[in-house]
Amino acid sequence: MPIVRIGSSLVYYAHVPKCAGTSVEHYLIERFGPLAFLNGDRKTPGPQRWSATSPQHIDVSALQRLFPPDFFETSFAVVRHPVSRMVSAFGFHQARRLIPLRMTFETWLTTYARDRETTPYQFDNHLRRMTEIVPDGAHVFKMEEEGLKAIVPWLDTLAGNDAGPREIPKANKTDDVIWKSRTPWKEWIRSRLQADKPPVNDTTCSLVYSLYKEDYDRFGYDPAGPPKRA
C-alpha cells in the first residue's frame, strides 16, 4: 500500500500484485518523489520480519486497523482479469523456483484452493483476492481497457499539472528480473517456462472463478475467461 504525497494530499495506491504494481510505483517515485509504506526487501527471514507480507501488499482489513477513516485524500488501484493475473503469478513464482517446474497450473490452483484459508499470506500476498486489497471507493483502472494510460491524466488532475513522464513504462518482467545472467540452469528454466506455458481452458477458468468469484462480481469480469490480450 504505497503512500504518495501529491501536493499537500496523501494518496493511497492499493498495489494489487501482478497488476503492474511495480511499474506504477516506479512512475510515482519518478514524478512525486519517495513513497511511504513500501519495502522491497524480503530477504529477512520470516520470523524476524515485522509483518507477514511486504507493506505494499497489505489487505484492506489490516489497512483499516492501521489508518483511520479519511486519512487519505483519495485512493486508486489497477486490477486485471483473475485468470490473466493467476497465469502471471504462476510464471512469476515458478521462475523464482517457489513453484516446482513440473507442477502444472491446474495442480497449483488446486493446491492453493486447499491451503488458502490456513496460509492466507503465502507468496507475499500475491494470490489475495483483489477485492481484499482494493478499498471501497478507490478509483479502479482495468489493465484490459486503457491499461496504465488512464492513470497519468488522473494523476494530472490530482497534481494540478501535467509535469513528469506521459506514460508508465512496464517494469518487473520475468525476463528482466530473472534472466540478467545467462547461466545454464537459467537457460534451462526459461526453456521449460516457454515450453510449458499454463493452459487456459474450461477447467482452469472454472478453478480461478471458484477462487475469485468476489473479484469477478465486483470488477465485472467474464467468468468464461480473459480477453485474448489481457
3-state secondary structure 154-166: HHHHHHCCCCCCC
Quick one: average pLDDT of 57-79?
89
Average pLDDT, the chain: 82
Between 75 and 112, the higher pLDDT residue: 75
Count CB neighbours of 230 within 10 A. Answer: 17
Q: Please give the pLDDT value at position 61.
A: 86
Domains of the chain by residue range: 3-219
Kindly list the strands in the beta sheet with 9-14, ordered across the sheet, starting from the edge strand earlier in the chain.
3-6, 9-14, 74-79, 139-142
Distance CA 149, CA 154 (A): 9
Confidence of residue 174 (pLDDT cuts 50, 70, 90): very low
Over residues 88-109, mean pLDDT: 84
Q: What is the mean pLDDT of residues 181-206?
A: 61
Residue 182 pLDDT: 43
pLDDT score, position 28: 95
